[in-house]
Structure 1
Amino acid sequence: MKRLWAVSATSLLMLLFLLTGCSSESSSSAKDGETIYKDNCAACHGDQLQGAVGPSIVNMKSKYSEDEVLKIINEGTTKMPGNLLTDEESKIVTKWLWEK
């Protein structure tokens, strides 16, 4: 019985350790727009904004207002799902895109 408890306790501690590493507790304000973009958007829009599966998003400033970009990120489009980022992350990425 003691051995089973030791294995269970060890397994529980390992699980907690892993979950802590995957936690969303790290504040998105600590993340910059580039990091959020690379973690969530680059797979479809390319690591240089050049487009891949999704369209190029280079020079968004010339195509949309800042509010429109934020709305697209939050609500998605017919081809892009919305609600992939928190409100705070969406704002950070929008500001970052605006600087590109």
Structure 2
Amino acid sequence: MKKTYMITSFNVILAACLVFLLFVYEGPKQSQSVSANAGGTSSASAGNAEDIVGKNCITCHGDQLQGGAGPALTKIGSKYNQSEIENIIKNGKNAMPAGVISGDEVTIVAKWLSEKK
């Protein structure tokens, strides 16, 4: 009899997890490409970079780039140049996974971060 309750409890928990995954959890957010504008040129303004960072980076680097699970980025431009920052974003480094940002957004964010000195 105890075995039946255990199996039933397990099935209820499993069903609840399945319902959560199917109806509640939306998965990771996909960022929109900044390069899709009418003129066909990429706009690398600080506002766009801040939006990209706000959507993808603040969880680890903090809302003011002060650091947290990841290092502070407030003066990262004095340590790395734009191409080095692009390389880190694309390929990851230490605990940072590769490909958190992709496409033209990598260049936009790397340029913006390289100016932080």
> 2:33·2:104 contact (CA, 8 Å) conserved in 1?
no
Larger Rg: 2
- State the TM-score, normalizing by the size of structure 2: 0.59
Identity %: 44
Determine the structure 2 residue equivalent to 1:13: none
Aligned length: 78
Determine the structure 1 residue equivalent to 2:88: 72
Change (3 A) 1:75 1:50: same
Determine the structure 2 residue equivalent to 1:27: 33
Q: What do residues 55-93 of structure 1 show as CA deviations (whole Å, max 9, x unaligned)?
A: 111111110121111100110012100111112111111
Gaps of at least 5 residues in structure 1 are 1-21
Change (3 A) 1:55 1:23: closer
**1:92 & 1:64 partners in 2: Cα distance?**
15
What is the correspondence of 1:19-98 to structure 2 with a 5 Å cutoff? Answer: 26-29=32-35, 32-98=48-114
SS at match of 1:34: helix
- State the TM-score, normalizing by the size of structure 1: 0.68
**1:81 & 1:23 partners in 2: Cα distance?**
16
Structure whose residues are more often helix by fraction: 1
CA RMSD of aligned residues (A): 2.1
